[in-house]
Each structure stands twice: as structure tokens, then as C-alpha cells.
């Protein structure tokens, strides 16, 4: 069952269910299915950017990355089962892929980062094959050649880590050309897998304060984050705003 949160339609799954759904796509025959992990920033951007909204709606799997989405869902009266951070989803999918000898391609981040992430991931998930990597700084004209390179690598899954909305645009436009069964938009995850950026400690994650940790580490983000409470305001308006007139 899908739940609409301010124009973005989410799958209502626990983390384990989401991982299983991702693995089912990865094993499947379809080419170019993609998963997106929207946080409140995505939802706000999608209200203004129709291409982004359409790219999100084309996803086979849409799971909530941030605690803000969970709060907004509660305010709307249509709660979601829980947050499913993209990076935890990715970890679960890789653990499953390792057992089934599925092949992973890493696309994104600054030159050198994906290689390092690949080495770390193969160490962490014995049996996982990272069958290719490419940095995320290429021209749109190079996309067809890049997709062909991924197809040649026989990747089952591609992690596309170009930041939003670029990664969703790329998956929608070129996902099928790669021949992969599942592509996942994962923002800055390769930096975390490479160890160049660290993730909030588990205690902060449990409290839903991952955003605060990130803000402390990367204070320049305040300009992007300051508008995020807006999502709760829009949720309140959507739920209660109309009633006054009725």
C-alpha cells in the first residue's frame, strides 16, 4: 500500500520488508527498476520541480529516509511503519547480494571515493562483487557511454550517488540502458562507505537526531536545512487547513 506524503507516494514498509523488496527487484528480470529514498528536502523540492516529482513517482520502491517524513506522515494522519534510512537499506541489500553472488556497481562521489568504498564494502560483505566504479562528475553527454560500461560490467544493482535530484534524473533517463535490475539513489552514502564522512553514532540515530549530527559536522548545511520544518507546516495545512472552510 502506498501512502501519499505531500505529493510523494511512499511504500509503507519496515526496513526488513524494504530490503526484501529491493532484493526481489535485484533478482528479477526487469531492467532499470529504481528505488528512491526521499527525505523532507526531496518533498519540498518536488513541490516546485515537476521533473523531480515525476522521476520520484517512476520509482519501483520509495522509502522514507528522514525522521521528518515520519513526523509529516503522523501529522497527516497516515503514519508510516518507520524510517528506512537509505544507508541501512543499502547495507541490508548488500548483505543479501553477498549471499546470492549478485554484482554491484558504484556510481558517484568525487574521484577515488567509489574505489575506496568498493574495497571497504567487499571487506565488510564477503562474497559481494563490486564489478565496477565511476565517479559522479561527468557530463550528461557521457551518460550513454557510462550506461554501456555498466551494462558490460553485468551489474545486477547500481548505487547512484550523485545527490538529488540529479541521481533520480539519471536513474529515470538511463537506468534501463545499464541493464541492471535495480538502481538505488543514495546521496552521500559512498562518502560514508569510503570513510571520508562519518555517520551519526547509533544513539543519535535512535533518537532521530541524525540530521542534528550532520548539521554539527557540516554546518554549511544550515541554509539547506532551515526550511525543513516547513514540511510539518504543510502537513498541518493539508490535514486541518481545509476543515475551517467546511
**Where on the chain is the footprint of ligand UDP (CB under 6 A)?**
108-110, 136-137, 161-164, 166, 187-188, 190-191
Q: Which is nearer to ligand UDP, 46 or 76 (CB)?
A: 46
Q: Which is nearer to ligand UDP, 182 or 190 (CB)?
A: 190
The CB density around residue 39, as the number of other CB atoms within 10 Å, is 22
Q: Which residue is nearest to ligand UDP (CB)?
A: 136
Q: Which is nearer to ligand UDP, 81 or 199 (CB)?
A: 199
Q: Which is nearer to ligand UDP, 69 or 164 (CB)?
A: 164
Smallest gap from residue 87 Cβ to ligand UDP (A): 9
Smallest gap from residue 62 Cβ to ligand UDP (A): 15
For the CA atoms of 187, 64, 14, 56, what is the dihedral angle to 10 degrees?
-80
Helix (H) or strand (E) holding 235: helix 230-236
**Helix/strand/coil (H, E, C) string of 159-175?**
EEECCCCHHHHHHHHHC
- For 218, list phi and psi in degrees, rounded to 5: -130, 70
Q: Measure the CA–CA gap between 81 and 75, rounded to whole angstroms.
A: 14
Smallest gap from residue 103 Cβ to ligand UDP (A): 21
Q: Which is nearer to ligand UDP, 1 or 139 (CB)?
A: 139
Q: Measure the CA–CA gap between 183 and 110, rounded to whole angstroms.
A: 19
Smallest gap from residue 136 Cβ to ligand UDP (A): 2
Q: Measure the CA–CA gap between 109 and 101, rounded to whole angstroms.
A: 25
Smallest gap from residue 214 Cβ to ligand UDP (A): 8
- The half-sphere exposure of 23 on its side-chain side, counting CA atoms within 13 A, is 19
Amino acid at each position: 500500500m502506498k501512502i501519499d506524503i505531500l505529493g510523494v507516494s511512499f511504500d509503507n514498509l519496515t526496513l526488513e520488508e524494504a530490503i526484501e523488496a529491493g532484493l526481489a527487484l535485484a533478482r528479477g528480470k526487469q531492467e532499470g527498476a529504481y528505488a528512491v529514498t526521499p527525505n523532507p528536502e526531496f518533498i519540498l523540492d518536488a513541490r516546485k520541480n515537476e521533473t523531480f516529482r515525476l522521476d520520484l513517482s517512476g520509482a519501483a520502491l520509495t522509502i522514507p529516509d528522514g525522521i521528518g517524513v515520519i513526523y509529516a506522515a503522523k501529522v497527516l494522519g497516515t503514519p508510516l511503519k518507520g524510517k528506512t534510512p537509505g544507508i541501512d537499506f543499502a547495507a541490508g541489500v548488500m548483505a543479501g547480494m553477498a549471499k546470492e553472488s549478485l554484482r554491484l556497481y558504484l556510481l558517484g562521489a568525487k574521484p577515488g571515493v567509489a574505489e575506496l568504498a568498493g574495497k571497504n564494502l567487499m571487506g565488510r560483505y564477503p562474497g559481494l562483487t563490486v564489478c565496477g566504479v565511476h565517479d559522479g562528475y561527468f557530463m550528461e553527454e557521457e551518460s550513454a557511454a557510462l550506461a554501456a560500461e555498466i551494462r558490460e560490467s553485468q551489474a545486477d544493482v547500481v548505487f547512484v550517488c550523485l545527490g538529488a535530484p540529479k541521481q533520480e534524473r539519471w536513474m529515470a533517463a538511463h537506468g534501463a540502458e545499464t541493464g541492471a535490475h535495480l538502481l538505488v539513489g543514495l546521496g552521500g552514502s559512498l562518502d560514508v562507505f569510503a570513510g571520508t564522512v562519518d555517520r551519526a553514532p547509533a544513539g543519535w540515530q535512535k533518537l532521530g537526531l541524525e540530521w542534528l549530527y550532520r548539521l554539527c559536522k557540516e554546518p554549511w548545511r544550515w541554509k539547506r536545512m532551515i526550511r525543513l520544518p516547513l514540511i510539518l507546516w504543510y502537513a498541518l495545512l493539508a490535514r486541518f487547513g481545509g476543515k475551517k472552510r467546511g
